[in-house]
Amino acid sequence: MTITRRTLLAAPAILAMTPALAQASKITLVVPFPPGGSTDAMARLLQSHLQTKLNRIVIVENKSGAAGALGAAQVAKSPPDGSTFLVTFDSHAVIPSILDKPPVDVERELMPVLLVGTAPYVIAAGAGRPYKSFADVVAACKATPGAVKYASVGIGTLGHLAMTVLGNKAGVEIMHVPYRGGGPAMNDVLGGHVDLIAGSAALVAAQLGTNMLRPILQLGRERLPGLPDTPTAIEAGFPDFETLAWWGIFAPTGTPPDIVAGLAAASKEILSEPATAAQLKETQQMTLLLEDAPAFKTFFDKQVAIWGKVVKDNNIRA
């Protein structure tokens, strides 16, 4: 790797990890979802570079189930010695509210390390459907209640919760069809079995060049450069409404501050490299934030509160 001023500034924090990790033969990055998704890709991107930067064996372990709670619980119960970290996605903030008896207290048993970045959710229609705007969807729902169906990647995911809120605000019910992942959900939209999909910008953007999918609403505060003609929910008449996918790293509570700071510094250095940053922007439509633990905790606590209220108010259960 090219030595830069940023590398030199980050070096003390990175090297501070080494003594604390001397007793660990490896570092495990737990991904609480199956292989192949955006979180898995993020962890594997970090894995290859962390091995070189920290001179440690780094492995990725996929531990899926219970809306990401099983993998989170595994990390929470691991020794807080810098040998195990959680690389996770936005649904992590819904675990406290969506599960009757969560196997982990995500607010107490895990501590934030790094907020990697965010990307807006996008609502898109199959090209064969007549919907050119979200107003068209609302009109169709009012004309024929229950006629419009949308896919999400699961009950209690942010795509599901965002559509629930938008339907409530518009005074209509849009029928939810949950799937076990973005691939099956997208396939059924492209195949004409479901009208719409509410998914991350990365999931939707991958299909934009096929002319088989029409984005009709994006849920960030500003339009993505790749979707210049698609209005935001705020522009469409839903004030102050946004829904962001996000990616972050957590550690077991009690992990020493120098280890947390060291992993954060190493990860920031890796993800800030121009080629890596460009890759994340292109493949995930991600805005890199790279915010340390205090800012991440503020962000995460707000996400837990916002989506917990939506789950409670609408009696949504996994």
Q: Does residue 272 register a pLDDT over 60?
A: yes
Q: Does residue 188 register a pLDDT over 90?
A: yes
In the chain, what percentage of residues exceed pLDDT 70? 92
Closest C-alpha among 90, 236, 93 to residue 169 = 236
- pLDDT class for 209, splitting at 50, 70, 90? confident
Taking only the tens place, the pLDDT of each residue in 46-85 is 999 999 988 899 999 999 888 899 999 999 999 999 999 9
Task: Tell me which of 19-28, 47-56, 202-211 is least confident.
Answer: 19-28
Closest C-alpha among 244, 17, 249 to residue 112 = 249
What are the b/e assignments for 235-263, b being 16+ CB within 10 Å?
Answer: ebebeebbbbbbbbbbbbeebeeebbbbb
Q: Does residue 10 register a pLDDT over 90?
A: no
What is the Cα 210 distance to its own chain's centre?
A: 24
What are the b/e assignments for 157-177, b being 16+ CB within 10 Å?
Answer: bbbbbbbbbbbeebebebbbb
- pLDDT class for 24, splitting at 50, 70, 90? low
Could you tell me the domains of the chain? 5-118+245-313 (3.40.190.150), 119-218 (3.40.190.10)
Q: What is the pTM of this model?
A: 0.88
In the chain, what percentage of residues exceed pLDDT 90? 77
User: 79: left (phi > 0), else alpha (psi -120 to 50), else beta?
Assistant: beta
Phi then psi for 91, rounded to 5 degrees? -65, -15
Q: List, in order, residues 6 or more apart from 4 with CB less than 8 Å away.
A: none
- pLDDT class for 12, splitting at 50, 70, 90? low
| Pairing label, strands 149-152, 110-126 | unpaired
- pLDDT class for 234, splitting at 50, 70, 90? very high
- pLDDT class for 282, splitting at 50, 70, 90? confident
Closest C-alpha among 23, 18, 24, 4 to residue 54 = 18
Phi then psi for 126, rounded to 5 degrees? -60, 145
Q: Does residue 15 register a pLDDT over 90?
A: no
Q: List, in order, residues 6 or more apart from 159 with CB less than 8 Å away.
A: 121, 152, 153, 197, 198, 199, 200, 243
How confident is the model at residue 7, as a pLDDT?
45
**DSSP secondary structure, 42-71, as one string:** HHHHHHHHHHHHHTSEEEEEE---GGGHHH
Mean pLDDT across the chain: 91
Cα gap 29→217, rounded to integer Å: 34
